Structure 1
Amino acid sequence: MTIPNHQSDAQPRALRDPQNTARGLEESLLQGAPIYTEAELCEATGATSAQVNDYWQTLGLPNTKKEARVFTQADADAIKSLLDLAEAEQFDHRTLTSLIRSAGHTAERLALWQAEALVEHYAHNYGWDDARARQEFLSEFERMHTVFAQQMEHAWRRQMAALVGRWFVEFGPEKGVTRGPGQLPLPRAVGFADIVSFTSQTAKMRSSELSDFVSNFEAAARDVITRAGGRVVKTIGDAVLFIADDPHTGAEVALGLANAGRSEEMKDLPQVRVSLVWGRVLSRFGDVFGTSVNLAARLSDEAKPGTVMVDQDTAALLAEDPSFALIAHDEREIQGLGSIAPVQLQHAYKPGQS
């Protein structure tokens, strides 16, 4: 990025009083000053000391000294409202722990992601080193955080509404229960897209170049997946794990990823090997588990760059769809999964196509 001349001489705002700046930013983020010790928080909320400590640790925050005033009114409100809900709904300890951990884990990753994105913005726009960029973040974040908090709530509401909508379609009363004994609960298309030659491509990159490479890959892959109707489960360095609700959509996602790097619009998406498996999965902790996930991970290793591999059962389902063509490959041993004959998936050739 070219830095405009009028910006190149900009200087980060000095933290004239770092202690007061930090205190003010903390109180602004926490919506008030710390006013409770642990004992006082228990009295204000009706929680036990064990409940307060469990909540705090499960949220991913460091232990506090019992006599220290570290808890705010917002902390008290959050703990009381959650414990009231847990009592009303009869949540057991496992359920309550999972709900708290989901918020804490997501918020911790989100906070770091957003802070680093802003630091990178200051460093790139003004040509500052990392330390100067972080100083600017500390100086300026107080005027921004309300917007980020609003965006987080809005995104959560939108994502939850989308999930509810999908579940009404899939599990509404008219659908009935179609799960057999011992089966995992969710039928899903699961796939991986792995960057080709990731290690050799990134071995000589500087940290900023590596950051751009990984973030560009993730952004481009997410665009392809969501446009085709799939959903990103997670990114794992040089790979992305995705799911879709039916085999056809899963196939379109997989082929979209395999072919995207050839288009000018998606030139930031490096060449990938892609897999797809239809099967049942268990969804927990924002992730998916099951034999089909393991098989998809292995099949991506069997694919050539820019191609999609599926298993025979998935191929049998897609064979009924005239949109796709399937090419059988020789049977081979795949460690941990036995003998498998992968099938290459591609779009069916239509007369008039170049």
Structure 2
Amino acid sequence: MDDETAEVPRPGDDDNYTAEELAAARADWSDFNLPRSTLSRNANPQPSPVPGRGFVPEADSSDLNDPSTLQTHADGAAATAPIPTPSFEEREWHRNIRDLEHRLLGAERSLTYREMALRMGVSTHAARKLWRALGFPNLDEDVKAFTEADAEALAQMVNLVRQGYLNQETAISLTRSVGQMTDRMVVWQIEALVEDKIANQELSDAEARSHVFETLPALIDPLHQLMGYAWRRQLSAALQRLTVRVESGLASLDRGREASGSEPSRDDAPLPLARAVGFADLVSYTSLSRQMNERTLAHMVQRFESKCAEIISIGGGRLVKTVGDEVLYNAETPEAGAEIALALSESIAADDVLPEARVSVVWGRVLSRMGDIYGPTVNLAARLTSLADPGTILVDSSTAEALEVSQDYLLVPQPPRLVRGFGEVAPSMLLRAGRGGIAIDNS
């Protein structure tokens, strides 16, 4: 191993790492899954000190008895496979990755789990729980995978517990919310940038991803600023829903039930929030997706999601989630839920790229947890969506009664249907009585 401390020729000679670069590469736990170049003729192969973490993947056990695949130390002990010498381009790529990572993390990875936990003032077990809640995998105890910034950020949640603002379970839940939302966000952003490069610069997928890496440094600060601003704005909007509009929503729920002369006897009565819950589901999505190539399918899904998100936002609702060919939203009044449902159905029907959609909306109580909504109201809306004919909107009887007080809607009774989990349900088709509604752009 003497040559690890010796000076290694720079690029242009044998394209080897210097001793410092080799040590940095081996210490970098994240590894880089790039194509490996062949060994330089003059390079002295070295064993990887930690199998699976250096530049060489772990040897296949089926090859361990083949002398041609192993090196031998002076004492006769078998060594791991040699370390190939990266090309000049690969070394530049590695350096750029490390520079970008340092900028994102703010410091070098210098702490183990135990060292991070000591700085947070908690047990290693507690530190692991918070790290996993952010959405990251467990790591070995001796791996220096964490920065001082990691310890400082996670310590914020620990301090909130110690100050009595949160209990441990809530702190974990809040941390998980940040991890899950930001994970989806960064994947979404990177794929959007890749798609932009493919569409506008006619690059292959691999080329586009390389170009995105080169573009990212200029985007980090603007996106970071936008994310912080959007979080504050969204929290402000949530506070309005929490304090100002809850009472009006419950009043609307009671109004709809009083119109029918019924008591609040539905299974959702104990749930805290009154909401209009709606689904929009693309017709024949599965069969269409089998006929499309990757680009065409991606274009259709993106168009569907962006169109639905815009309509729901303009209508004052909230896009709860998208699952492939389906969106789930909620709104604070039955009228808002109905307007969004009508706009979704009309806009999708007018779109030449998208197939028709089945839509439903149900007014009732829901439970909101982990960014999602639950309860019989959600289940009934999902069932009605599957019963709706393409291009139509179905509502249940309670929702129909709440909407009939308005002259803006027509409710056409449909034959009673047996619905799993609800027994016999008498749905109505929702139609618009006249002009108006949410202004939408079908371009």
Report the TM-score when normalising by structure 1. 0.88
Cα 1:171–1:259 change in 2 (3 A) is closer
The 5-angstrom pairing of residues 96-245 of structure 1 reads 96-171=171-246, 183-245=270-332
1:260 aligns with 2:347: yes
Deviation at 1:287, TM superposition (A): 0.7
1:279 aligns with 2:354: no
Match of 2:168 in 1: 93
AA aligned to 1:57 is R
Counterpart among 418, 421, 427 of residue 342 in structure 1: 427
Match of 1:331 in 2: 416
Report sequence identity in percent: 39
Question: Structure 2 CA distance, aligned partners of 1:292 and 1:41?
Answer: 45
What whole-Å deviation, never above 9, does each CA across 1:79-117 have from its counterpart, x for those lacking one? Answer: 122111122135223212211110111111111111111
What whole-Å deviation, never above 9, does each CA across 1:228-283 have from its counterpart, x for those lacking one? Answer: 221111111111111000111111111111111355xx655542111010110000
Match of 2:146 in 1: 71
Match of 1:298 in 2: 383
Identify unmatched segments of 5+ residues in structure 1.
1-13
Deviation at 1:38, TM superposition (A): 2.3
Match of 1:250 in 2: 337
Deviation at 1:143, TM superposition (A): 2.6
Tell me, what secondary structure is at the counterpart of 1:280? strand
Deviation at 1:44, TM superposition (A): 2.1
Question: Structure 1 CA distance, aligned partners of 2:434 and 2:138?
Answer: 62
> Which sits farther off after the overlay, 49-58 or 135-144?
135-144
Question: Structure 2 CA distance, aligned partners of 1:171 and 1:198?
Answer: 36
Identify unmatched segments of 5+ residues in structure 2.
1-88, 255-263, 436-443
Cα 1:269–1:312 change in 2 (3 A) is same
Instruction: Answer yes or no: is the 8 Å Cα contact 1:15–1:139 preserved in 2.
Output: no
Cα 1:269–1:231 change in 2 (3 A) is farther
Instruction: Answer yes or no: is the 8 Å Cα contact 2:134–2:180 preserved in 1.
Output: yes
What whole-Å deviation, never above 9, does each CA across 1:261-314 have from its counterpart, x for those lacking one? Answer: 355xx6555421110101100001111001010110011122222221100111
Report the TM-score when normalising by structure 2. 0.71
Question: Structure 1 CA distance, aligned partners of 2:233 and 2:411?
Answer: 37
Deviation at 1:144, TM superposition (A): 1.8
Corresponding residue pairs, total = 333
AA aligned to 2:230 is A
Instruction: Answer yes or no: is the 8 Å Cα contact 1:258–1:272 preserved in 2.
Output: yes
Q: Which has the higher contact order (CA 8 A, sep 6+)?
A: 1
Question: Structure 2 CA distance, aligned partners of 1:226 and 1:107?
Answer: 20
Structure of higher CA gyration radius: 2
Counterpart among 298, 301, 312 of residue 397 in structure 2: 312
